[in-house]
Amino acid sequence: MKKGMKNLMAGILAAAMLTGAGQMVMAEDTIKVGMVTFDSGADAYQSAYYDTMLSHAKELGVEIQLLDPAGDATKQQNMVQDLIGMACDVIIIWPANSETAIAEVKACSEAGIPVVAANTDVAEEGQEYVTCFVGPSNRLEGQNAGEAMVEEIGTDAKIVEISNMAGYTASIERMGGMHDAIEDTDIEILDSQPGEANREKAQQVMENYLVKYAPGEIAAVFCYDDTTAYGALNALEADGRDDVLVFAAAAGNYETINYVKNGKIRAISMQSPIIDATTTLDVAVNVAKGEAPAEYLNFIETPAVSQSNIDEIELEAW
Amino acid sequence: MKNNRFKTFISNNTIVPIMVIVLVFAAFVVPGFLNVGNIFNVFNQNAMKGIMAIGMTFLIINGYFDMSLCTLVGLTAALSCGLQESLGTVPAVLIALLAGAAVGLINGILVSYVGINAFVVTLAMMMGCHGIAYIYHKEQSFVARSEAFIHFGTGKIGPFSYISILFLLLLVIGHFVLRYTDYGRSTYAIGGNAAAAFNAGINTKLVTCMNFVVCGFLSGLGGVLYACYAGASTPALGWPDMHMLVIAAVVLGGTKLSGGSGNVWYTLGGIMLLGIIDNIMNLLNVQTYVSTMVNGLIMIGVLCLDKVMMAKQLKKANLEG
């Protein structure tokens, strides 16, 4: 038995040396990108983002270590520690929580690894440790879709809103952008209830609006994402009402293009996970090469589409 | 003789051979696993969970478990961050720890004095704490303001983080209490056979209640330490499966869910094994859901192995006797 133990120890030692040697051989010039996502299995947008990251890394010829904390902020923090241990050249973080990400970016900066914040920005206190942010501008999405709405319904109309979850940063910013777009008009928001980014809940909210406001009283309903807009459309169709037009701030589902083509959703900003992921990885690879972008905020393109221009805008399906 | 002692040691500590297998596998297959920095990284990452698992070990040896842990950590993290500005750091942390102990006390009273099933009580408490944490947070996150608080979460002495040193200290204290005090021995006795323990003159209700308090307090401490580590608290901290991971680590280590046997070193083994597997999966770039599944498979494997070895030992004991 004693001999067996000795052999075992020798085995472990040999293994240690082998892996050590292996690492030395592996140390080449390929750029190693580490990334923690938010919750890649949660929705179509995030899983397309995940897949695009992998395929685009292959196209660029960089090594990528892509970890998914499934929405758990503490798990994400541990994963960032693991990425630091793997000596990545750059780390991309899609914060599971903007505040707890402060500690994550601080740890990277202490280890001397540059950080790119993706899709959602780190809270202000942590931004000094971040090289740059790449992602959609929620404010612009709201504003562009809002302006498209003003173009269609005119500057003097009454509308209702279906908001998203309270405290959800993206939704607050989109709302800010939309309200900017109608600030100088006489458009009045009669009602604003939360749809919680949930189709069924949004449908309920819309049904209540339709009972409350008779035909002709409201010109449009503004939603803050496409899932909410689907719910609102369902309620309108069930009631046979076509006097209320549906607008929405931003779309993450590719399916939404069909709703725009047949005019059900009048205008919306399209946010493509493919553009989001490829732009982010391109910027991160540049950062690893020492070519950081000049600006801190790097917004991806999120074109506002409507029935009239949808055919001109080319978006790869996801 | 020596050979025999080794065999007994292995069959009493199934976690040890399994750990060796995993380590050897990792050393061969996983690039970057076997360096000192990474091993300490795993230990430091899991110290918070380990501290909570010590409390859970006490309770499981006593024959119960506590599900409220998973939301209690969110609540105490919230209190320790949220009260900093108005009351100062030390009072905020003390209040958070007291809240943990208080939740444990309520659990303990309801289970041991009122006599309600522990599963139901702690499940209800889990929902209660979840609600309070969300109401208190108002769905926002709190950022810790105190530099000292954050420094405690991220600071290190040598390769050990402050939190992992605290974990080691609590392991030693936990070991001492379980092994050398009346309280510890009573805990084993109640878990083994509550009626016999009662007949032997042990105040079973009080000891059980106290073990709930220990578990609540250490869960609360875990929450506070997570807030130090992250420098912020979120209402979702710990939700939805922190209690499961902690109970899994305790049971994986070799402490029996039926009570009466186990120790804190087993728990250290369980925590490290789960931590190492997570780390390996991350280094190998394996998708999260695969890694969760592997965790489940390993757990079933370990428990089967444990059962087989126990059966062998019993058979042998019977033959010898």
Amino acid code (one letter) for B109? I
User: Given a cut of 60, is residue B321 above it in pLDDT?
Assistant: no
Q: Do A97 and B141 touch (CB under 8 A)?
A: yes
Residue in B41, B138, B150 nearest the CB of A167: B138
Say if pTM beats, i.e. exceeds, 0.95: no
Q: Do A1 and B6 touch (CB under 8 A)?
A: yes
Angle formed by the axes of helices B242-253 and B69-82, nearest 10°: 120
User: What phi and psi values does residue A223 have, to the nearest 5 degrees?
Assistant: -110, 160
* Chain A touched by B30 (CB under 8 Å): yes
The pLDDT of residue A4 is 52
pLDDT digits (tens, 9 = 90+) for A248-263: 999 989 999 999 999 9
Q: From residue A259, give the alpha-carbon distance in Å to each of A82, A103, A263, A265, A267.
A: 43, 42, 6, 6, 10
Q: Do A102 and B232 touch (CB under 8 A)?
A: yes
Look-up of token digits 């922190």: B242
The pLDDT of residue A7 is 56
- The bridge status of strand A245-251 relative to strand A220-223 is parallel
Residues of chain B in contact with residue A166, where contact means CB-CB under 8 angstroms, are 138-139
Is the domain spanning A18-135+273-300 CATH 3.40.50.620? The answer is: no
Query: Which of A9, A17, A100 would best serve as a mutation to test chain B binding (most B beta carbons within 10 A)?
Result: A100
Q: What is the mean pLDDT of residues A86-101?
A: 94
CB A73 within 8 A of CB B116: no
- The bridge status of strand B142-143 relative to strand B232-233 is antiparallel
Q: Do B41 and A81 touch (CB under 8 A)?
A: yes
Residue in A23, A66, A97 nearest the CB of B32: A23
pLDDT digits (tens, 9 = 90+) for A202-242: 999 999 999 999 999 999 999 999 999 999 999 999 999 99
Q: Do B230 and A86 touch (CB under 8 A)?
A: no
Look-up of token digits 């293994």: A15
Closest chain B residue by Cα to residue A39: B288
How many other CB atoms sit within 10 Å of the CB of residue A127? Answer: 15
Residues of chain A in contact with residue B293, where contact means CB-CB under 8 angstroms, are none
Residues of chain B in contact with residue A13, where contact means CB-CB under 8 angstroms, are none
Q: Do A85 and B287 touch (CB under 8 A)?
A: no
Is the domain spanning A138-270 CATH 3.40.190.10? The answer is: no
User: Given a cut of 80, is residue A284 above it in pLDDT?
Assistant: yes
Prediction ipTM score? 0.84
Token pair in block for residue A274 = 């493919």
Q: Which residue has the higher pLDDT, B280 or B3?
A: B280
* Chain B touched by A240 (CB under 8 Å): no
Can you list the pairs that B293-297 forms with residues at least 24 positions away whose Cβ atoms lie under 8 Å?
B295/B248
Q: Do A125 and B143 touch (CB under 8 A)?
A: yes
The pLDDT of residue B6 is 83
Output the average pLDDT for chain B. 91
Phi/psi region, residue A165 (left: phi>0; alpha: psi -120 to 50; beta: rest), is beta
For residues A186 and A155, give the distance between their C-alpha atoms in angstroms, rounded to a whole number.
6
Closest chain A residue by Cα to residue B26: A15
User: What phi and psi values does residue B187 have, to the nearest 5 degrees?
Assistant: -60, -50
**A18-135+273-300 and A138-270 in the same fold:** yes
Residue in B30, B32, B139 nearest the CB of A167: B139
Q: From residue A132, give the alpha-carbon distance in Å to each of A84, A137, A281, A292.
A: 18, 14, 12, 8
Q: Do B27 and A19 touch (CB under 8 A)?
A: yes
**Which stretch of A291-300, B28-37, B205-214, B257-266 has the lowest confidence by average pLDDT?**
B28-37
For residues B252 and B176, give the distance between their C-alpha atoms in angstroms, rounded to a whole number.
22
How many other CB atoms sit within 10 Å of the CB of residue B13? Answer: 18
Query: Which of A50, A97, A172, A196 would best serve as a mutation to test chain B binding (most B beta carbons within 10 A)?
Result: A97
Query: Which of A18, A37, A78, A164 would best serve as a mutation to test chain B binding (most B beta carbons within 10 A)?
Result: A78
pLDDT digits (tens, 9 = 90+) for B250-271: 999 999 888 999 999 999 999 9
Residues of chain B in contact with residue A68, where contact means CB-CB under 8 angstroms, are 287-288
CB A101 within 8 A of CB A126: yes
Q: How far is A16 from chain B (nearest CA, A)?
A: 6
Q: What is the mean pLDDT of residues B210-214?
A: 98
Q: Do B279 and A82 touch (CB under 8 A)?
A: yes
* Chain A touched by B80 (CB under 8 Å): no
For residues A284 and A91, give the distance between their C-alpha atoms in angstroms, rounded to a whole number.
8
Q: Report the half-sphere exposure of B107 (CA within 13 A, side-chain side).
A: 36
Chain Cα centroid distance, residue A276: 8
* Chain B touched by A95 (CB under 8 Å): no
pLDDT digits (tens, 9 = 90+) for B159-191: 999 999 999 999 999 999 999 999 999 999 999
Q: Report the half-sphere exposure of B184 (CA within 13 A, side-chain side).
A: 15
User: Given a cut of 70, is residue A12 above it in pLDDT?
Assistant: no
**Helices and strands (H and E) in chain B: how many:** 16, 4
Q: What percent of chain B has a predicted confidence (pLDDT) above 90?
A: 69
Residues 271-300 of B with CB under 8 A from A: 278-279, 282-283, 285, 287-289
* Chain A touched by B20 (CB under 8 Å): yes
Q: What is the mean pLDDT of residues A82-93?
A: 95
The pLDDT of residue A1 is 43
Residue in A15, A74, A98 nearest the CB of B237: A74
Q: What is the mean pLDDT of residues A121-126?
A: 92
Q: How far is A65 from chain B (nearest CA, A)?
A: 6
Residues of chain A in contact with residue B27, where contact means CB-CB under 8 angstroms, are 12, 15-16, 19
pLDDT digits (tens, 9 = 90+) for A16-45: 444 444 444 444 579 999 999 999 988 889
Q: How far is A25 from chain B (nearest CA, A)?
A: 11
Question: Taking the domains of chain A in order of start, what are their residue ranges?
Answer: 18-135+273-300, 138-270
Q: What percent of chain A has a predicted confidence (pLDDT) above 70?
A: 90
* Chain A touched by B147 (CB under 8 Å): no
Residue in A67, A100, A167 nearest the CB of B232: A100
Residue in A70, A79, A103 nearest the CB of B154: A103
User: Given a cut of 90, is residue B50 above it in pLDDT?
Assistant: yes
Q: Which residue has the higher pLDDT, B237 or B316?
A: B237
